[in-house]
Structure 1
Amino acid sequence: MAISNRRSFIIRVASASAAVAAGGLLSACGGGDDDASPSARFDFGVASGDPLADRVVLWTHAAPANGQSTVSLTWEVARDAGFTQVVSSGQVQATAAAGFTAKVDATGLSAGQSYHFRFREGRNNSPVGRTRTLPASGVGSVKMAVFSCANYPAGFFHAYSEAVNQGAEYAVHLGDYIYEYPANGYASQDAVALGRVSSPANECLTLADYRARYAQYRSDPDLKRMHASLPLIAVWDDHEIANDAYVTGAENHTEGAEGAFTDRVAAALKVWHEWMPVRTPDMTDLRKIYRSFDFGNLLSLHMLETRLLGRDQGVELPSLVNPATQAAALASLTSASRQMLGGVQQAWLQQQMAASSATWQVLGQQVLMARMAFPVSILQALDPSNTDPAAQAAGLQAITDYLTAKATPPGSRTPTQQSLLDPALNPQLGYNVDAWDGYPVAREVLLGTANTLGKRLVTLAGDTHNAWHSDLTLLNGTKVGEEFATPGVSSPGLEEYLSAIPPANAASIFTGVIDTLNYADTARRGFLLMTFTPTTATGDWWFVSTVKSRSYTAVLGHSAVFNA
């Protein structure tokens, strides 16, 4: 069998496996063997997203036969799997200019209803998917699965299928849907053994590179099952473009040697909009992906863009803990002009929250907003990039000294312990300055806005690959809301960097040092299942036993309730 035919065969087998796992949702009725001409292939299944009360975006990829540049498709939405009750239909084209992806906004639907949908080309049908519109007022509960950080070479995407198993109604993806690294890059040490070597082999820089990488990810059966089962609301983080991206550059981009950053962003975002089932708010500026979704009067979900619209270049942690550079770095960190969202998006968010009458205001955004501050004495001693046992031992001693001082009654503390707890002598800084801890004034403005408006605030976050639950507080300690952060789908977490510390101990260190942190899991992969009712917002953290084997088990690791 030729290599190209073998690859096609493997993709088709993966599609069939997903169909069985999905209980028939992905079943397709292709044309018979007596078809006179070859038909387009739907190798990557179907997807839906950006649901509203009366419409939803439908997506597919139609690989052309005979080299044509356009594939004409018919789409259908029905109340039943047999498509005897079609409620909306029309035509759409998959063109070479869009990488043979096709998207359409299916309108005329009813609020809070589940539907079946498919695409057809001649006698050839795509797999069948299921989707759901947003509910109208009066809805009693909403369940949404929250995902982040799915690295193909790092392991299998079990979390996507498990969310379907656990009854999620909607899916929210907070970014790092793909990773841009080369085949021998980040978290690829097991890729060959797992049969998950990144393609293309080079780092993604061009339109063709990003298209090939999305195609590989979308060949994954677990991801295809999730897309065919749940409408997705998504936003990108940095790895859809390049690591630690900001408005004018990225840590993982070398201007000139890797082309212009503006060209790379343009290519990456064009492909993201091609492959994701999203409604593009502004075709003239693909960076403007912020948008809101109203789930009746229960919750308003505001999806934010925190990378390419307003984010200033990050302040490096070493410069903050080095006495020689600390003053200048702190001045930059705490500058009133330092931006994360940018003024236009911040004003939009304020307007959206002010106008919303929903019980819950939910921010779907990429990085941790809650304060994750450690004293400088620990940050100077414990460098996550240095996994040498001696270095980690020094870090553990600094942690022990600080926690001992914290637990000692004030009247019994030694002068050294008093110094450790004095913020003037031992200031606290966020250990992850790529998160909102690196943009403290912008965070204070956002949280202050929610507090002034009297809104019940929930933030959803990803990025760290680990699970967190925190209180959201102003600088004066006023609680504004709570943050629920999802673990990564497959990307390794702190257990890799803090390898000398048992995961349970690492979690205890974080919750012991950080007063506003209520829960942490620093070792397991999975997803977050959020359930909203008029009185509670409940986060359930589901973990999979492994991402290194096709066989796995799932467990509910922790639940937390935020009362309205």
Structure 2
Amino acid sequence: MSRSRLLGQSVVKRRGVLALGGGVAGGVLLGRPPIDGDAVQARVTSRPVPRSTPGLVRSRDALTHAQTGDVTPTSGVLWARGEAPGQLQVRLRSGGRVIGTRVGPAGTADTDFTARVSLAGLEPGRDYEADLWFAGPDGTESDPTHVSFTTPSATPARTTFAWSGDTCGQGYGISPDAGGLFAYGAVADLRPDVFIHCGDNIYADEPITDTMVEVDGSVWRNVVTEHVQRPAQTLAEFRGRYRYVLLDENVRRLHATTPVISQWDDHETTNNWYPGEILNDETTTFRYTDERRVDVLARMGRQAFQEYMPIGEAHLLGRGSTGFAEKGLYRKVPRGA
């Protein structure tokens, strides 16, 4: 697979395709100014860090977060994560007034404290806002997280979308020196109607270490958590990869205002894997010490992906005995006529 650091920073190639922004209006592609890869690279490396500077380590990656996904003219998904067991609470607003409340499922340790609510009966072409929070069994409530989204029109209308993929690949994680995962911030600034993530939401097979030496001798510093420092080989490590991305303020800002359509690729499990594969040190870049059976890794990877993506319950697949679905995770997300 070609070297890529798109949403994990810097050089913006995904299998040879420049893939950061796009738009559609009445079926016509709206051109965006081309992205200057050299300028992006300069932004990353123009402030070299002394080699003696340590990485930035967080011992915990607990967080609360909310996002929207798979928004159609009449439906959508609200997703949230809490820090402790609790029942998801939703308050939906539009036009400055509350139009409904919902009590969603519980976020528990079995789902890594994630939960979602599928909305139906929405009006096309309308702006919505939502507050999401968790109510604990002892009556305590978490602070609400706010998201907004717009349902697409049911008739032909201008719409814009941004699309990309490959988050935190090749060991390039969240670097405060570079402004975090700044490509997500650039997408948020465009205010697209929808963001399509084309896969490799995480790089489960590639460690994120505290520092990396660039080709010009400067040092890239990463925020590091306990679950990203080796290839993911436990369910906790796969889940921790998704939590790591959600620590970034650029990602959180995009999710607060833009619905997401997420796809699955290979690095949500490991690079270029196939059913029945047994990993070995000769065919992997980084060593797997605890689990080499790809069927087992795929099962854990699929579970974590489904827990952390804003996809409606009706489209989620059973966990089964392996990571290979008896059917594909297919869904239709119509926009326009």
What TM-score does the superposition give when structure 2 sets the normalisation length?
Answer: 0.66
Task: Give the C-alpha shift of residue 194 in structure 1.
Answer: 2.5
Quote the offset at 1:206 in angstroms. 1.3
Given that 1:174 and 1:236 are in contact with CA atoms closer than 8 Å, whether structure 2 keeps it comes out as yes
Whether the 8 Å contact between 2:200 and 2:266 is mirrored in structure 1 is yes
Q: Could you say which structure has the greater relative contact order, defined with CA pairs below 8 angstroms and 6 or more residues apart?
A: 2
**2:304 maps to 1:271:** yes
Q: Which amino acid aligns with 1:197?
A: V
Once the two structures are TM-superposed, the CA of residue 163 in structure 1 deviates from its matched residue by 1.4
- CA deviation after TM superposition for structure 1 residue 192, in Å: 7.4
- The structure richer in helix per residue is 1
* Contact 2:64/2:83, CA 8 A, preserved across alignment: no
Contact 1:62 1:100 in 2 (8 A): yes
- Pick from 77, 84, 100: which aligns with 1:57? 77
Structure 2 segments unaligned to the other structure (5+ residues): 1-57
**Which amino acid counterpart does residue 108 of structure 2 have in structure 1?**
T
Tell me the residue number matched to 2:265: 237
Q: Which residue of 1 aligns with 2:105?
A: 92
**Residue 207, structure 1, aligned to residue 207, structure 2:** no
The residue number in structure 2 matching 1:196 is: 223
Aligned mates of 1:54, 1:92 — CA distance in 2: 21
Pairwise CA distance, 1:183: 3.2
Q: Distance in 1 between matches of 2:236 and 2:94?
A: 38
| In structure 2, distance between residues paired with 1:158 and 1:254 | 30
Partner of 1:128, secondary structure, is: strand
Q: Deviations over 1:118-157 (max 9, x none)?
A: 2133553322011232331x22211111021121742531
Q: Which residue of 1 aligns with 2:248?
A: 220
8 A Cα contact 1:255 1:261, kept in partner: no
Structure 2 residue corresponding to 1:104, chosen from 117, 123, 128: 117
How many residue pairs were aligned? 251
Change (3 A) 1:247 1:111: farther
Hey, what does 1:171 align to over in structure 2? 195
Give the drift of 1:269: 0.6
State the identity as a percent.
Answer: 23
- Equivalent residue, structure 2, for 1:113: 126
TM-score by length of 1: 0.41
State how far apart, in whole Å, the 2-side matches of 1:74 and 1:117 are. 10
CA offsets per residue over residues 365-403 of structure 1, 9 Å max, x none?
Answer: xxxxxxxxxxxxxxxxxxxxxxxxxxxxxxxxxxxxxxx
Bigger CA radius of gyration:
1
In 1, distance between residues paired with 2:226 and 2:207?
8
Query: Would the aligned equivalents of 1:57 and 1:277 in 2 still touch at CA under 8 Å?
Result: yes
Moved more, 108-117 or 206-215: 108-117
Let me know the Cα RMSD of the aligned residues: 2.9
| 1:159 counterpart SS class | helix
SS at match of 2:333: strand
Query: Aligned to 2:312, what secondary structure does the other structure show?
Result: coil
Equivalent residues in 2 for 1:533-544, closer than 5 Å:
none
Q: Distance in 1 between matches of 2:192 and 2:66?
A: 18
Match of 2:25 in 1: none
Q: For the residues of structure 1 that align with 2:186 and 2:248, how far apart are their CA atoms?
A: 14
Structure 1 residues 50 and 244 mapped into 2: Cα distance closer, same or farther (>3 Å)? same
The one-letter amino acid paired with 1:125 is D
Contact 1:182 1:198 in 2 (8 A): no
Contact 2:87 2:103 in 1 (8 A): no
Change (3 A) 1:73 1:157: same
Q: How does 1:440-479 map to 2 (within 5 A)?
A: none
